[in-house]
Structure 1
Amino acid sequence: MELFDLSGRTALVTGSTMGIGLALARGLGQAGASVLLNGRNPDRLAEAVAGLQAEGITAAALGFDVTDVAEVRAAVDGHEAEHGPIDILINNAGMQHRGPLEDFDPEAFDRLMRTNVYSAFYVAQACARHMIPRKAGRIVNIASVQSKLARPGIAPYTASKGAISNLTMGMATDWARHGLNCNAIAPGYFKTPLNAALVADPEFSAWLEKRTPAGRWGEVEELVGACVFLCAPASSFVNGHVLFVDGGITASL
């Protein structure tokens, strides 16, 4: 369907060598987009690109540190100048650090905020500066159920994902008039490398399955439809929205 066709578009997905980022890059590629994978580990990046190319997806690497504003701007500006427009940005790069809030290391807090929040601002701003003159662009930030819920031991992560949701609304408020669509996806609990310890914990998995109306963990492929929708013509009047893909966990007490 043309409403969901991404042919001719180029999508940059940060933190896309594994997990959610790689699944979203694959889904965008299957919808017709050319995808730019991003990560700091050159070997993992090359492996991920080769894997998508082997599936028939047009993929390339754009390696840079999302927490370094100079690197971000150089990479985005360089690609725009040498290869053409970045039409879609998926701000997926993120990290988790667990610990009691009263003992939480301030340096770990700073690192988490830089990775989860600053990076989204840096990369979105760098891409938006090119999208605005074209009067077109899609930005999708990856938020979390922790944008509106909290659990013990992850207060800083919760703060960072709340910031992503509000930053998304701010992006839409500032940039919608220039033709940009800025939205977010808030995943629930998915089987990813970031959640590997929780997936392996029978007690936590039992709690999660009971707490989630759908009764199970999510699979990363179940985020692809939401991402393609927010990047495609089908969502042309959707702006500043946070789409929860969580099996109903935020809908139920």
Structure 2
Amino acid sequence: MVNFSLEGKIALVTGASYGIGFAIATAFAEAGATIVFNDINRELVDKGLAAYKEKGIEAHGYVCDVTDEEGVNRFIAQVTGEIGVIDILVNNAGIIKRIPMHEMSAAEFRQVIDIDLNGPFIVSKAVIPHMIKKGHGKIINVCSMMSELGRETVSAYAAAKGGLKMLTKNICSEYGQYNIQCNGIGPGYIATPQTAPLRERGSDGSRHPFDSFIIAKTPAARWGTPEDLAGPAVFLASEASNFVNGHILYVDGGILAYIGKQP
């Protein structure tokens, strides 16, 4: 029987106080995992703890900046001492800055690269030695359709997510021999509170132009939901994916397979 259970596993999902990270962590908890998450400040961590509690999940929240290597090392040591060795790591923490490239400062570009690419490198590097010692491990990097495609105003984000795709493949190449599987999950356009204004109907029932654009580009003809990511994430975290390594699983309703409707 295929084993999708996460019973007895400890899962760290970075930046999982809300949104996609929260949905993935919730799915892991429902599959039996113990949930650990971090966020950049106490307010967000407390918000996350309250949200997990509301769902009946006893999560463990910590304040940690994923770009601070020394801080991450202390964080992983603390989690290992207080809860146990991390079996599953989801590098979810990330930001996007929508600025035309010619208007973007190098400092703004570096900030996106630092959080979205250096962060996963730093956290993965901290957990991999423990996974090697334990004899197994699952690392899931939250990639993006921008790991494959470009789009106006997201030069830094696309550069980071493209790099994260290749970091995923390299972790697979370097540590597969230690029974560590590193894969990516690439969400499509997901309906979250942050994207709600883009999906509001006009007083005449008309769609927002961006909403119409996404529906037209998606064979499924809808936005995804955070719950659409639950099954794929549990699969990549479970023993069901023990021979899946270096793969990016796009959960995008078919956007990347589709050239779009003829005007």
TM category, shorter: over 0.9
Compared with structure 1, are the counterparts of its residues 199 and 164 closer, same or farther at alpha carbon in structure 2 (3 Å cutoff)?
Answer: farther
Deviation at 1:42, TM superposition (A): 1.2
Q: TM (normalized to structure 2)?
A: 0.92
Spell out the pairing of 1:1-253 with structure 2 (5 A cutoff).
3-192=3-192, 195=195, 198-199=198-199, 202-253=208-259
Letter in 2 for 1:29: A
3-state SS of paired residue (1:138): strand
Q: Quick check: 2:41–2:64 contact (8 Å CA) kept in 1?
A: no
Q: Quick check: 1:37–1:49 contact (8 Å CA) kept in 2?
A: no
Deviation at 1:104, TM superposition (A): 1.2
Letter in 1 for 2:217: R
Cα distance in 1 for residues equivalent to 2:95 and 2:199: 16
Q: Quick check: 1:4–1:229 contact (8 Å CA) kept in 2?
A: yes
Counterpart residue number, 2:203: none
Q: Once the two structures are superposed, what CA deviation does each residue of 1:207-235 show, in whole Å capped at 9, x if it has no partner?
A: 11011111111111110100000000110
Cα distance in 1 for residues equivalent to 2:234 and 2:93: 18
Unaligned runs of 5+ in 1: none
Q: Quick check: 1:96–1:194 contact (8 Å CA) kept in 2?
A: no
Cα distance in 1 for residues equivalent to 2:69 and 2:196: 30
Q: Which protein is bigger by CA-based radius of gyration?
A: 2
Cα distance in 2 for residues equivalent to 1:165 and 1:18: 23
Deviation at 1:61, TM superposition (A): 0.9
- Could you tell which deviates more after superposition, 80-89 or 217-226? 80-89
Q: Quick check: 1:15–1:38 contact (8 Å CA) kept in 2?
A: yes
Deviation at 1:199, TM superposition (A): 4.4
Deviation at 1:85, TM superposition (A): 0.8
Compared with structure 1, are the counterparts of its residues 153 and 10 closer, same or farther at alpha carbon in structure 2 (3 Å cutoff)?
Answer: same
Letter in 2 for 1:52: Y
Q: TM (normalized to structure 1)?
A: 0.95
Give the aligned CA root-mean-square deviation in angstroms.
Answer: 1.5
Q: Quick check: 2:172–2:181 contact (8 Å CA) kept in 1?
A: yes
Deviation at 1:194, TM superposition (A): 5.3
- Could you tell which deviates more after superposition, 48-57 or 119-128? 48-57
Cα distance in 1 for residues equivalent to 2:210 and 2:53: 37
Letter in 2 for 1:213: P
Deviation at 1:118, TM superposition (A): 0.4
Compared with structure 1, are the counterparts of its residues 96 and 27 closer, same or farther at alpha carbon in structure 2 (3 Å cutoff)?
Answer: same
